[in-house]
Amino acid sequence: MGSISSFINLLFSSKYTVAFTGSGVSAESGIPTFRGKKGIWKRINPDTVATREGFLKNPVFVWKWYLERFKTLEGAKVNYAHIALAKLEKKGLLKAVITQNIDGLHQKAGSKKVIELHGTVKKVKCLKCGKKFSSSIVSNTLPPTCPKCGGLLRPDVVWFGEPLPEKTLNEAFQEVSKTDLLIVIGTSGTVMPAAMIPYLAKQKGAKIVEVNTEETPITAIADLFFKEPCSILFRKLMEEAKI
């Protein structure tokens, strides 16, 4: 366990702080996590909606599922953890947010440098020509097709069995190579290669602060661990630090 004063000391003594977030940071915005007790994958088999094979087998079913999910994400409001991270960046105390989330809430809260490892709900891409478009292009006619070549459009997110975009992953690793303090928030620490990030930071000598409602594999290497909802923890941090 950790103390707020210790967290503040690490934050103000750090020269390059980076945040690494997972679905837990958006849970308090009403967005279900994937692997928690009531997680999304408890209700539906990810092979059917989060793999290329599942999509090609039944693109209409997958698109109906994603359109419902997009509605949930678009209607979600930022919580105090999102707001706090944006404030820390504005104050120069946080250099970047590396996120596994696709909901865009970090940007909605005001964060400027956000690296989205697993893609975004804001875009779709063509399976045939690879061109990307705003997700607003998707209408009620399913499955949607590419206006350029007629190929199938899919959500611009990373599915199981797919590699992370090389450029995005390299950008994340560059941030990790510079950090001396990594704040890990609401991630299960089990999805590779994103789950490597805390360990890479630790190997390079960075301090690790973890905020989560339950212990994870990352807890074992954390210098400070806060077992509570992230919005509550960050409100305490910002108030005590007078930020």
Spot the catalytic one: 106, 118, 125, 154.
118
Six-digit token pair at 45?
């088999």
What would the mean pLDDT of 150-164 be, rounded to a whole number? 92
What would the pLDDT profile of 38-68 be if each residue is shown by its tens digit?
A: 667 667 788 898 899 999 999 999 999 988 8
Asked if 23 and 34 touch (Cβ cutoff 8 Å), the reply is yes
pLDDT value for 179: 97
DSSP state of 195: T
The per-residue pLDDT for 148 is 93
Q: How would you classify the pairing of strands 17-21 and 114-116?
A: unpaired
> Domain 32-75+119-157 adopts which CATH fold?
SIR2/SIRT2 'Small Domain' (3.30.1600)
Q: What is the DSSP string of 9-67?
A: HHHHH-SSEEEEE-THHHHTTTPPPSSSTT-GGGTS-HHHHSSHHHHHH-HHHHHHHHH
pLDDT score of 37: 61
**Average pLDDT of 114-131?**
93
Residue 36 clears pLDDT 70, i.e. is over it: no
**End-to-end alpha-carbon separation of the chain, Å?**
23
Known active-site residue 106: no
Q: What is the pLDDT of residue 46?
A: 80
Q: What is the DSSP string of 80-116?
A: HHHHHHHHHHHTTS--EEEE---S-HHHHHT-S-EEE
User: For the domain with range 1-29+78-118+164-243, which CATH number is right: 3.40.50.620, 3.40.50.1220, 3.40.50.10540, 1.10.533.10?
Assistant: 3.40.50.1220
Give the tens place of pLDDT for each residue, 168-214: 999 999 999 999 999 999 998 887 888 899 999 999 999 999 999 99
Those residues whose C-beta lies under 8 Å from the C-beta of residue 140, and which sit 6 or more positions away, are none
In the chain, domain spans = 1-29+78-118+164-243, 32-75+119-157
Query: Quick one: pLDDT band at residue 106, thresholds 50, 70, 90?
Result: very high
Q: What is the CA radius of gyration of the chain?
A: 18
Phi first, then psi: give them for residue 218, nearest 5 degrees.
-70, -25
With a cut of 70, say whether residue 145 has pLDDT above it: yes
Does the pLDDT value for residue 133 go beyond 90? yes
Average pLDDT, the chain: 91
Q: What does the alpha-carbon distance between residue 243 and residue 241 come to, in Å, rounded to a whole number?
A: 5
